[in-house]
Amino acid sequence: MSKMITQYVCQQCGRSFARSFGRCPQCGTYDSMVEEVIEKTPAAQKASPLGTLTRSTPVRLNDIEGDTAERIPISIGEFARVLGGGVVPGSIVLIGGDPGIGKSTLLLQVALEMAAKNTVLYVSGEESERQIKMRATRLQNSPPAKTFPEQLFLVTETNLDAILEHVRTVKPKMLVVDSIQTVYIPELESSAGSISQVRESASRLRKLAKTSGMAVFVIGHVTKEGVIAGPRVLEHIVDTVLYLEGDSFQSFRLLRSVKNRFGATSEVGVFEMREGGMAEVPNPSEAFLAERLVNTPGSAIAVTMEGTRPLLVEIQGLTSHTSLNNPRRTPNGVDMYRLLLIAAVLTRRMGLRLAEQDVFVNVIGGLRIGEPAADLAVAAAIASSQRDLPVRADTVLIGEVGLSGELRWVSQMETRLREAGKLGFKQAIIPRRVRRGEDLPQGITIHEARSLREALDYALLQEKRD
């Protein structure tokens, strides 16, 4: 017999306690405790490390069948890229993202694609079958008369036992669960979406994936605070975690892998949300630069690495006079700390009078840059706006800015420069090379600068051009 016990679970970090706290002792979040009733399996039923009930048997490595690298190919290239190739049978993938960002749309597209050759079951707890059909019709850009793949099955269901039953009858190669927050296990008394429901449902789906060889895609919502959704606790359970990001006011969407047992992490796929669904953007650098105004102050081009992929992005800076005692520093797409650091270095080492200026920095295309290699471009965009002088239009700026105003070398310079050259940029301003080992590509003129001052002296045109 199983026994019901009550415990208090932090919805942020998933740690459970016997009593409630106003502030979680583990992660420090306030008001995050929710009372949950948990079904406790008697110890004897659990597979304990020394237990006698374990049914698994060790197998010789040589005797294990099947090529583990075997993947089901998928023609949505940007999706395959983030997965590290194709879909891995028996794997469980979490796709997280803000509500409305396009998770259901993308997964339905993937399901339609996969169903051409494999049986696919799409389980939704959020929309009715009719609603999903309407979306599918919207996604088919071919004439509306065209029929959908025979092997694609839809069902609206939230009870995990019923879902597992459907899996047994349909026997899909791929299962989509949209979303994990709507799924519940009837034996657990806590409500759907609570940490224990989400965690337990995901564990059962994982077990199913491993034993059946079916690929499972689980959608998870992330709220700004990450409180109700708790995909953090899921990250340990699944094989691969992908996040779909983007500014909901802009059309670009980035699918980023933050964990991948079968491929590289921080790989990025770029999509654009269109009328007919998510369209792949195979040349994101070109797309990000498409609307750029050449020779206007306050714009600089950085080359950032997203996984193995170099991306050229426009960084815009704007300084504007303020009478506030505490002038604003507003980053969009770059880290606040980096912006504060760069603004301080520009003030102290370059004599830029930013103390009475609000400073805004914006990365075009909705990209979030996490690496310091874009520092130089951020600094140039701010200085360019403040001095009202444009940055050379045919030039990319690469380098980390140090506290003494020095420029520091960044990794993968060759890859970055090659991408810039490919997109027609003629010059690059980079830090001075300490090691001469790295081969830099031909066809792009390199200007080495020891300091931010040297770099900006060259980067900023001395007069305004139109």
Residue type, 196: S
Q: Which tokens go with 225?
A: 């605070």
Q: Cβ-count burial of 275 within 10 angstroms (0-12 exposed, 13-18 middle, 19+ buried)?
A: exposed
Can you tell me the distance from the alpha carbon of 231 to that of 233, in angstroms, rounded to the nearest whole number? 5
Site for ligand TYD in 45-104 (CB under 6 A): 97, 99-104
**Residue 105 sits in the site that holds Mg ion (CB under 5 A):** no
What does 135 bind: Mg ion, ligand TYD, none (CB cut-off 5 to 8 Å by kind)? Answer: ligand TYD
What distances in angstroms separate CA 43 from CA 132, 267, 386, one per listed residue? Answer: 43, 41, 68
Interacting span for Mg ion (CB under 5 A) from 99-107, 139-147, 400-408, 414-422 = 99-107
Smallest distance, ligand TYD to C-beta of residue 130, A: 14
DSSP per position, 289-346: HTTPPTT-TTEEEEEEEETTEEEEEEEEEEEEE---SS--EEEESS-HHHHHHHHHHH
Contact 295, 110 (CB under 8 A): no
Identify which of residues 151 and 182 has a Cβ nearer to ligand TYD in the complex.
182
Q: Which two tokens stand for residue 453?
A: 């001052």
Angle, vertex CA 137, rays to CA 135 and CA 139, nearest 5: 70
By beta-carbon proximity to ligand TYD, the closer residue of 277 and 399 is 277
Residue placing its CB nearer to ligand TYD in the complex, 244 or 312: 244
Interface of this chain with ligand TYD, residues 258 to 317, rule: CB under 6 A: 273, 275-277
Q: Give the residue, chosen from 32, 91, 104, 194, that forms a contact with Mg ion under the rule CB under 5 A.
A: 104
How big is the site for Mg ion, counted in residues (CB under 5 A)? 1
Three-state DSSP at 204 gives helix
Side by side, which strands form the sheet with 240-245? 152-156, 120-124, 174-178, 215-221, 92-97, 240-245, 252-260, 268-274, 277-280
- Exposed/middle/buried for residue 287 (C-beta within 10 Å: 0-12, 13-18, 19+): middle
Q: Which does 73 bind (CB under 5 to 8 A by kind): ligand TYD, Mg ion, none?
A: none
Pairing label, strands 120-124, 152-156? parallel
In terms of Cα–Cα distance, which of 396, 394, 387, 388 is closest to 455?
A: 396
Residue 124 binds which one of ligand TYD, Mg ion, none, with CB within 5 to 8 A depending on kind? none
Separation CA 317–CA 343 (nearest Å): 11
Q: How far is the CB of 440 from ligand TYD (least distance, A)?
A: 42
Q: Is omega for the bond preceding 179 within 30 degrees of 0, making it cis?
A: yes
From the list ligand TYD, Mg ion, none, partner contacted by residue 105 (C-beta under 5 to 8 A by kind): ligand TYD
Applying CB under 6 A, the site for ligand TYD has a residue count of 15
Nearer to ligand TYD, 142 or 325 (CB): 142
To Mg ion, the closest distance from the beta carbon of 78 in angstroms equals 19
Q: What are the structure tokens assigned to 190, written together?
A: 């806590």
- Residues for the chain: how many in total? 466
Only one of the segments 66-74, 102-110, 369-377, 422-430 lies at the binding site for Mg ion (rule: CB under 5 A); that segment is 102-110
Closest approach, Cβ 110 to ligand TYD, in A, equals: 12
Q: Which residues contact 428 (CB under 8 A, 6 or more apart)?
A: 395, 396, 397, 398, 417, 420, 444, 445, 446, 447
* Cβ distance to ligand TYD smaller for residue 125 or 399: 125
Between residues 104 and 385, which has the closer beta carbon with respect to Mg ion?
104
Contact in structure between 193 and 181 (CB atoms under 8 Å):
yes
- Residue whose CB is less far from ligand TYD, 111 or 396: 111
- Residue number, 79 or 262, with CB nearest to ligand TYD: 79
Within residues 97-116, the interface with ligand TYD by CB under 6 A covers 97, 99-105
Instruction: List binders of Mg ion among 43-82 (CB under 5 A).
Output: none
- Decide which of ligand TYD, Mg ion, none touches 138; Cβ closer than 5 to 8 Å per partner kind: ligand TYD
Instruction: Give me the residue whose beta carbon is nearest to Mg ion.
Output: 104
In the complex, the residues that contact Mg ion under the rule CB under 5 A are: 104
In the complex, the residues that contact ligand TYD under the rule CB under 6 A are: 97, 99-105, 135, 138-139, 273, 275-277
